């Protein structure tokens, strides 16, 4: 197992298809002039988050746990395709490791959150080949599930990139994950009609991100009518300089994309989006249907993001294999701006 931080503070940038030792504490964080940053300033500079998007036949759920070193955020929302967003849970607090426990290890971890009657438990083990999720938000939204997931069987995209000359970010994306068992209840009513058509979008990121961080993001997953499993993760404005965060999966076979172009109206983002790459290996149109947004303007931190849910249509053209076309596959897009 190789460490991501080597001798002489060398960050081992690259695509990591095998297990790693996430020895981020060994990294010496430097300021603009090469002077080491220590103590609370270093702690506050390390950010990590885990996002799970659960897609069912007539609804979806978005869940996130975010640790910023000085503050945490846990949120979840339920979006029904015929009604819009029907429930949202959102809580924040000081990141003291009490309400939210978020160990920084993308291969093996147990994220634990509890506040009042609400809780979120995410357990992942690549060595055991599974991801489990247990949650109850506001005594209204209950989730329980277990998903097979390993480096060998699912071929996640795991890249380590410079955020800027003195900082770095590790991220792991994968889609779709299909459950061995799954239950999603809202106000006591089961929402999962067919577990075999329920899929999960997975996103874990951690590192010393830029003080000002921006990105465009898109992800989706589905089991098509012919039982082909597809999923995708695309990003722009972040980490393109070395190893891009772009890939799609066809029956868990990963196809990497060098660059994704996001073409949408900043003035009216509810107009259709176009996503494409220069090599012609994917062409997508996204039709936004609803969103979750947040805006925060404080002295030390600023945040503005809009996460849209909607339908993707288009095609994948793998290097070897037949073109896969699809229509009206639900998923997520987002633009995110932060000063943290």
Tens-place pLDDT, residues 51-89: 999 999 999 999 999 999 999 999 999 999 999 999 999
Range of the domain at 145: 2-339
Confidence of residue 321 (pLDDT cuts 50, 70, 90): confident
pTM over 0.75: yes
Does the pLDDT of residue 319 top 90, yes or no? no
Tens-place pLDDT, residues 270-290: 999 999 999 999 999 999 999
Tens-place pLDDT, residues 291-314: 999 898 877 789 899 999 999 999
Q: Give strand pairing partners of 274.
A: 263, 285
Does the pLDDT of residue 165 top 80, yes or no? yes
**Residue 207: what pLDDT?**
97
Measured between alpha carbons, how far is 218 from 84 in angstroms, rounded to an integer? 19
Asked if residues 262 and 275 have their Cβ atoms less than 8 Å apart, the reply is yes
**Residue 241: what pLDDT?**
77
Largest CA distance in the chain: 57
**Residue 298: what pLDDT?**
79
Does the pLDDT of residue 204 top 90, yes or no? yes
Burial of 278 from C-beta contacts in 10 A (0-12 / 13-18 / 19+):
exposed
Bond prior to 213 in cis (omega within 30° of 0): no
Tens-place pLDDT, residues 166-189: 999 999 999 999 999 999 999 999
Over residues 91-120, the mean pLDDT reads 97
**Residue 209: what pLDDT?**
92
**Residue 1: what pLDDT?**
87
Over residues 326-336, the mean pLDDT reads 97
Over residues 22-43, the mean pLDDT reads 96
Confidence of residue 135 (pLDDT cuts 50, 70, 90): very high
Does the pLDDT of residue 240 top 90, yes or no? no
Counted domains in the chain: 1
Measure Cα distances from 259 to 113, 234, 239, 321 in Å.
35, 8, 11, 21
Torsion from C-alpha of 139, 305, 340, 233, nearest 10 degrees:
90
Measured between alpha carbons, how far is 130 from 143 in angstroms, rounded to an integer? 16
Tracing tokens 């633009």 back to the chain, one arrives at 335
**Residue 307: what pLDDT?**
97
Asked if residues 85 and 300 have their Cβ atoms less than 8 Å apart, the reply is no
Burial of 83 from C-beta contacts in 10 A (0-12 / 13-18 / 19+):
exposed
**Residue 7: what pLDDT?**
96
**Residue 301: what pLDDT?**
86
């Amino acid at each position: 197992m190789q460490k991501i931080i080597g001798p002489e503070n060398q960050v081992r940038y690259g695509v990591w298809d095998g297990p790693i030792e996430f020895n981020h504490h060994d990294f010496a964080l430097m300021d603009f002039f090469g002077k080491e940053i220590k103590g609370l300033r270093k702690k506050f500079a390390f950010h990590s988050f885990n996002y799970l998007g659960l897609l069912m036949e007539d609804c979806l759920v978005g869940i996130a746990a975010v640790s910023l070193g000085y503050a945490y955020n846990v949120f979840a929302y339920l979006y029904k395709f015929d009604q819009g967003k029907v429930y949202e849970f959102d809580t924040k607090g000081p990141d003291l490791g009490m309400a939210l426990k978020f160990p920084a290890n993308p291969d093996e971890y147990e994220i634990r959150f509890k506040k009042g009657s609400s809780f979120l438990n995410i357990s992942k083990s690549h060595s055991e080949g599974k991801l489990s999720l247990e949650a109850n938000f506001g005594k209204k939204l209950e989730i329980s599930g277990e998903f097979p997931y390993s480096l060998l069987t699912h071929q996640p995209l795991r890249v380590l990139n410079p955020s800027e000359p003195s900082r770095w970010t590790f991220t792991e994306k994968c889609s779709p994950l299909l459950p061995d068992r799954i239950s999603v209840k809202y106000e006591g009513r089961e929402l999962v009609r067919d577990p075999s058509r329920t899929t999960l979008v997975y996103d874990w990121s951690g590192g010393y991100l830029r003080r000002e961080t921006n990105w465009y993001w898109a992800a989706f997953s589905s089991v098509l009518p012919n039982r082909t499993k597809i999923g995708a993760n695309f990003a722009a404005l972040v980490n393109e300089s070395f190893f891009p965060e772009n890939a799609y999966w066809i029956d868990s076979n990963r196809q990497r994309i060098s660059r994704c172009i996001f073409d949408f109206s900043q003035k009216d983002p509810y107009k259709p989006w176009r996503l494409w790459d220069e090599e012609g290996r994917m062409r997508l149109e996204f039709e936004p249907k609803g969103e979750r947004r947040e805006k925060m303007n404080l002295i030390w931190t600023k945040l503005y993001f809009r996460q849209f849910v909607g339908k993707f249509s288009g095609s994948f053209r793998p290097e070897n294999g037949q073109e896969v076309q699809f229509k009206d596959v639900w998923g997520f897009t987002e633009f995110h701006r932060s000063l943290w």
